[in-house]
């Protein structure tokens, strides 16, 4: 498990940083390279890699990662790939929640979900959560809503990443009001038996 730790300089690292040190002592190279894009991205070879580690090791690994993904970013030293993954998923969790709230509000105001999608996907409220992962069946091809919310990325995994983000926020003294709310709502959802959705 990737428990979040803070080093002496106040930099966010994960247990992965300890692994990187052990690997270096053994004379080898180490990169942490979490991904974003889910099953669809893996199938299409369009994953986004966020990579932590030494720059020269990143350059050596880049062709291999390029065979699986379309976005490969060196984020800094070992642990920073994990750090940006936690931050990215905190953003996604908040987006998914507020999008769902807005869709329900719009529906209760008499708005058809397709009209909502047509406007918001071309306006300032657009996001990946809407344009790729819209939580209403039929709006977006490939959305989990079209498969009874069977995951590419299960709620238990989002809750794990939110836990890492909240632990890091606490250890760095970072205020994350919406992140905390999202973590609470995902915990309630998972505890309600929906962890596989």
Residues belonging to the active site: 85
For residue 99, what are its two tokens? 């999008």
| Bridge partners, residue 14, by sequence | 4
3-state SS assignment for residue 5: strand
Residue 135 and residue 103 in contact, taking contact as beta carbons nearer than 8 Å: yes
Query: What single string gives the DSSP state of each residue in 12-65?
Result: EEEHHHHHHHHHHHTT---EE--EESHHHHHHHT-EEEEEEE-HHHHHHHHHHH
């Amino acid at each position: 498990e990737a428990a979040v730790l803070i080093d002496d300089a106040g930099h966010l690292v994960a247990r992965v940083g300890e692994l990187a040190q052990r690997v270096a002592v053994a004379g080898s190279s180490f990169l942490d390279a979490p991904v974003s894009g889910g099953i669809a991205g893996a199938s299409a070879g369009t994953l986004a890699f966020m990579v932590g580690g030494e720059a020269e090791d990143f350059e050596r690994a880049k062709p291999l990662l390029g065979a699986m993904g379309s976005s490969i970013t060196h984020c800094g030293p070992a642990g920073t790939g994990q750090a940006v993954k936690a931050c990215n998923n905190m953003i996604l969790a908040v987006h998914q929640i507020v999008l769902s709230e807005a869709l329900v509000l719009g529906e209760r105001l008499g708005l058809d979900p397709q009209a909502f999608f047509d406007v918001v996907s071309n306006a300032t409220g657009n996001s990946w959560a809407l344009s790729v992962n819209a939580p209403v069946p039929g709006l977006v091809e490939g959305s989990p809503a079209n498969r009874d919310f069977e995951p590419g990325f299960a709620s238990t995994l989002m809750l794990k990443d939110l836990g890492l983000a909240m632990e890091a926020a606490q250890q760095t003294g970072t205020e994350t009001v919406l992140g905390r709310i999202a973590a609470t709502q995902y915990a309630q959802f998972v505890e309600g038996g929906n962890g596989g959705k």
